[in-house]
């Protein structure tokens, strides 16, 4: 999936999946992640959930863009009084539509083919927001041009540039319709298609006079999740569940036909300093580590979820993604910075993290790790918004070299 194509978005979104939900790798095929993209986290928001990065906030109700300056000349039907609907607009096409998790409401996301909007060097992200809906129904629905009244709200962020968390230009629907041909009962998952016009909006989220516009003539999607366990005894069923009874302390092979012993590489991260920031009120420590994994970027993340009980020994396991241990620890390998579908997430299978000192005000922290093993995972979110992971069948794993850290975050 193409989500969070910029390194800054990935770093900024670090643990969006703890505090706010999903990322494109959070593959439901959720996101990411959701990490917390979540580029797009992305990326959006101080996390990069694309719903917040590409979706304008505040009053987005468009105002009348008609030019009424000269009422005396009413003979020319092609003068400046032409509305956006009468203009010719460029046509945009999009790739696969993804289902994205977010604590503020799940949504759909797609990327313009080959960066068709604006500068082709950067990504263009389309989001379909369902407001506070919990489920969809079949039928044809006309799109409102008002951000205040839209039930189905479509936003386009044009040109998400490297090291920037907002697009160069933003667009909102002016007209069109969405057709839901089939829906998965009780969810926002569906199969359908739509056609609509998007117009450029300004910083106040009103149509730009003489701004650009795009026509999307046939957006098709199928976000209905269909479990696939034929011939499989373990591993992910593709919808957030597992096939068979799982493998317990063993690993599921790539074919999902056998439980096998883990065969992990040893990883020495050589961490010498950590960066500190607050992510939705959660103290977070992050850095790039220098170990050679073949990826473009290797990122270490640690969150202090329970600050009152930070000092002490924390047992890490497959449930620690939820924050149940009071802390979270994970590694991200970004194999290709231009394709966030290449981002691989690792969470602990076992190990211990001991925090000796922690000061929330100064951000000072002193800790060590012992016997930590991390495995490649896919992240999901349950009906209560709690994140959980399922190991990737045949995925990689690392035995981390024990290390200590005694320094101030910054």
Give the model's pLDDT for residue 163. 62
User: Is residue 216 domain-shared with residue 279, that is, in the same domain?
Assistant: no
The conformational region for residue 235 under phi > 0 = left, psi -120 to 50 = alpha, else beta, is left
User: Is residue 180 domain-shared with residue 304, that is, in the same domain?
Assistant: no
User: Is residue 11 domain-shared with residue 96, that is, in the same domain?
Assistant: yes
Which residues, 6 or more positions from 90, have their beta carbon under 8 angstroms from its beta carbon? 116, 117, 212, 213, 214, 215
Mean pLDDT of 35-55: 35
- The SS3 of residue 8 is helix
User: How many helices (H) and strands (E) in the chain?
Assistant: 3, 22
User: Is residue 121 domain-shared with residue 36, that is, in the same domain?
Assistant: yes
Which residues, 6 or more positions from 180, have their beta carbon under 8 angstroms from its beta carbon? 136, 137, 138, 139, 140, 141, 190, 191, 192
Q: Is residue 246 part of a domain?
A: no
Give the model's pLDDT for residue 70. 42
Q: Which residue is associated with the tokens 């002016």? A: 174
Q: Is residue 40 part of a domain?
A: yes
User: Is residue 215 domain-shared with residue 289, that is, in the same domain?
Assistant: no
Q: Is residue 370 part of a domain?
A: yes
pLDDT at 61 over 60: no
Q: Is residue 254 part of a domain?
A: no
Q: Is residue 238 part of a domain?
A: no
State the pLDDT confidence band at 74, using cuts at 50, 70 and 90: very low
* Other C-beta atoms lying within 10 Å of the C-beta of residue 198: 26
Q: In this structure, is the dihedral angle defined by the CA atoms of residues 74, 75, 79 and 85, taken in order, positive or negative?
A: positive
Q: Which domain holds residue 369?
A: 262-408
Model pLDDT for residues 279-327, shown as the tens digit of each residue: 878 999 999 887 666 777 889 999 999 999 999 999 999 888 888 889 9
Say which range, 38-42, 169-173, 241-245, has the weakest mean pLDDT. Answer: 38-42
User: Is residue 15 domain-shared with residue 144, that is, in the same domain?
Assistant: yes
Give the model's pLDDT for residue 48. 35
Say which range, 50-59, 127-136, 273-282, has the weakest mean pLDDT. Answer: 50-59
User: Is residue 320 domain-shared with residue 191, that is, in the same domain?
Assistant: no
State the pLDDT confidence band at 160, using cuts at 50, 70 and 90: confident
State the pLDDT confidence band at 339, using cuts at 50, 70 and 90: low
Q: Is residue 252 part of a domain?
A: no
How does 61-99 read in b/e, with b if 16+ C-beta sit within 10 Å?
ebeebeeeeeeeeeeeeeeebeebeeeebeebebeebbb
Give the model's pLDDT for residue 209. 93
Q: Which residue is associated with the tokens 């995925």? A: 395
Percent pLDDT > 70 in the chain is 75
User: Is residue 198 domain-shared with residue 275, that is, in the same domain?
Assistant: no
Mean pLDDT of 254-283: 92
pLDDT at 10 over 90: no
Which residues, 6 or more positions from 119, have their beta carbon under 8 angstroms from its beta carbon? 159, 168
Mean pLDDT of 53-72: 37
Q: Is residue 237 part of a domain?
A: no
Q: Which H or E run includes 52? A: helix 50-53
Say which range, 36-50, 224-238, 256-270, has the weakest mean pLDDT. Answer: 36-50
State the pLDDT confidence band at 21, using cuts at 50, 70 and 90: very low
Which range is most confident: 27-41, 102-116, 214-228, 323-337? 214-228
SS3 assignment for 184-225: CCCCCCEEEEEEEEEEEECCCCCECCCCCEEEEEEEEEECCC
Give the model's pLDDT for residue 319. 85
State the pLDDT confidence band at 119, using cuts at 50, 70 and 90: confident
User: Is residue 157 domain-shared with residue 16, that is, in the same domain?
Assistant: yes
User: Is residue 325 domain-shared with residue 215, that is, in the same domain?
Assistant: no
Cα atoms in the 13 Å half-sphere on the side-chain side of 72: 0
DSSP helix, strand, coil percent of the chain (3-state; round to 5): 5, 40, 55
Q: CA 51 to CA 38: how far, in whole Å? A: 8
User: Is residue 123 domain-shared with residue 17, that is, in the same domain?
Assistant: yes
Mean pLDDT of 335-343: 71
End position of a domain, from candidates 222, 250, 272? 222
Give the model's pLDDT for residue 27. 39
User: Is residue 386 domain-shared with residue 270, that is, in the same domain?
Assistant: yes
Token output for 292: 């050679």
Mean pLDDT of 199-203: 93
Q: 47: burial class by Cβ within 10 Å (0-12, 13-18, 19+)?
A: buried
Give me the number of domains the chain comprises. 2
Q: In Å, how far from its chain's centre is CA 263?
A: 30
End position of a domain, from candidates 206, 222, 238? 222
Would strands 343-358 and 327-334 be described as parallel, antiparallel, or unpaired? antiparallel
Q: Which residue would you say has higher pLDDT here, 334 or 97?
A: 97
Q: Is residue 121 part of a domain?
A: yes
End position of a domain, from candidates 172, 192, 222? 222
């Amino acid at each position: 999936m193409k989500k969070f194509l910029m390194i800054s978005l990935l770093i900024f979104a670090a643990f969006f999946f703890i505090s706010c939900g999903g990322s494109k790798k959070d593959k439901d095929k959720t996101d990411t992640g959701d990490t917390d993209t979540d580029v797009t986290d992305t990326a959006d928001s101080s996390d990069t959930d694309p719903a917040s990065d590409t979706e304008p906030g505040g009053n987005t109700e468009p105002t009348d863009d008609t030019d009424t300056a000269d009422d005396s000349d009413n003979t020319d039907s092609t003068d400046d009084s032409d509305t956006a609907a009468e203009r010719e607009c460029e046509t945009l096409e999009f790739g696969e539509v993804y289902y994205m998790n977010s604590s503020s409401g799940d949504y759909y996301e797609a990327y313009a083919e080959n960066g068709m909007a604006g500068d082709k060097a950067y990504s263009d992200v389309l989001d379909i927001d369902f407001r506070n809906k919990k489920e969809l129904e079949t039928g044809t629905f006309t799109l409102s041009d008002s951000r205040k009244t839209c039930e189905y709200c479509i936003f386009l962020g044009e040109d998400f540039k490297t090291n920037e968390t907002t697009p160069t230009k933003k667009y909102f629907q002016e007209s069109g319709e969405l057709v839901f041909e089939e829906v998965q009962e009780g969810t926002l998952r569906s199969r359908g298609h739509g056609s609509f016009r998007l117009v450029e909006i300004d910083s106040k989220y009103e149509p730009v006079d003489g701004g650009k516009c795009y026509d999307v003539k046939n957006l098709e999607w199928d976000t209905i999740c269909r479990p696939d366990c034929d011939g499989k005894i373990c591993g992910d069923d593709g919808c957030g569940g597992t096939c068979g009874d799982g493998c317990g302390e063993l690993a599921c092979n790539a074919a999902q036909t056998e439980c096998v012993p883990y065969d992990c590489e040893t990883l020495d991260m050589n961490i010498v300093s950590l960066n500190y920031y607050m992510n939705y009120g959660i103290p977070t420590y992050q850095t790039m580590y220098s170990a050679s994994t073949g990826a473009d970027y290797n990122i270490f993340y640690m969150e202090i979820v329970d600050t009152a009980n930070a000092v002490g020994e924390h047992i890490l396991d497959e449930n620690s993604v939820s924050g149940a241990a009071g802390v979270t620890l994970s590694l991200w390998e970004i194999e290709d910075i231009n394709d966030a579908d290449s981002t691989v997430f690792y969470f602990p299978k076992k190990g211990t993290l001991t925090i000796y000192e922690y000061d929330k005000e100064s951000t000072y922290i002193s800790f060590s790790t012992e016997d930590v093993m991390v495995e490649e995972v896919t992240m999901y979110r349950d009906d209560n918004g709690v994140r959980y992971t399922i190991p990737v069948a045949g995925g990689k794993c690392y035995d981390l070299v024990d290390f200590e850290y005694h320094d101030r975050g910054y």
